[in-house]
Amino acid sequence: MKISILSGKGGTGKTTLAVNMALSLKNVQLLDADVEEPDDYIFISPDIFDTEAESVLRLIPEVDDDLCTACKKCVDFCEYNTLAMMLDQVLVFPEICHSCGGCKIVCPENAITEIERELGKIYHAVSGEIDFWQGELNTGEEKSVPVIEKLKTKIDTDKKVIIDSPPGTTCPSVEAVADTDYSIVVTEPTPFGLHDMDMVIEMLQEIQQPFGVVINRSDENSDHLIENYCSENDINILLKIPFSREIAELYSDGTAFVKKMGSWKSKFQLLYYDIVREVNNNEKNNSN
């Protein structure tokens, strides 16, 4: 079972849910795909953080000025504006290159070669029952999707897989959700939380991904904001994590709250098995 955890923006509680759920299960894999700001490792305290990180590489063009005749064919071809002509010299902006290789093909002078550039790294660690993988985008890089793709090659389908996805609704989030069995949308009971959740749900519905909602910083005076929306749209609220001083203090201390509040483990286990049941029921219904 592969579960992706999403939110409309950072700081909503995605990490809280991902790490506490992972710490409550056995035979589990946690993938931190929030590659621009991975922070799950802080809370699971891995025993070993492999120093031998794996590079995520991609190919970008390099122009040989001695062969280039400044015909500009490569510049005109590149629809991503990665190339520009300046004083009869081709400039390359590697951060926005999509590594399609097209400019090399259209160059009539064979002046373009492709060189490897590191986009980010994949780290591996083990913490208790958790087989932990983290993707990390190098500073200044913009293309996080290839890092997430590489991270997802580490998925072990014999384990319970939890993916902490990037926040938002753009390509990196879609890539993190792709091929997972179920998504959990984490939100908080505020007008902003509702707005952000609505955007995530729209994205999930577009890609026909099954999902449910977890309310973080739940508060009986304001939960109705989320509850009314979910009831009107026939969306399952899977769990509420209360607005609690103890949980907030543990979070700011870098401690996953199930480590100190052990009774919560059974709630996260129930959450997992509720999702398994829902996915199995959906599969049965679809096959009938």
- Interface ranges with ligand SF4 (CB under 6 A): 61, 63, 68-74, 77-78, 80, 82-83, 90, 97-103, 107, 109, 111-112
Task: Tell the smallest beta-carbon distance from residue 110 to ligand SF4 (Å).
Answer: 8
Distance of CA 231 to the CA centre of its chain: 27
Cβ-based neighbour number of residue 256 at 10 Å: 25
* Residue closer to ligand SF4, measured from CB, 109 or 198: 109
Q: At 16, list the tokens.
A: 């809280």
Distance of alpha carbon 199 from alpha carbon 265, whole angstroms: 30
Sign of CA dihedral 85, 87, 88, 92: negative
Distance of alpha carbon 18 from alpha carbon 272, whole angstroms: 11
Task: Tell the smallest beta-carbon distance from residue 102 to ligand SF4 (Å).
Answer: 4
* Residue closer to ligand SF4, measured from CB, 71 or 276: 71
Task: Tell the smallest beta-carbon distance from residue 116 to ligand SF4 (Å).
Answer: 13
Task: Tell the smallest beta-carbon distance from residue 77 to ligand SF4 (Å).
Answer: 6
* Residue closer to ligand SF4, measured from CB, 69 or 228: 69
* Residue closer to ligand SF4, measured from CB, 100 or 276: 100
Residue from 68, 107, 122, 113 nearest 90 by CA: 68
Distance of alpha carbon 200 from alpha carbon 206, whole angstroms: 10
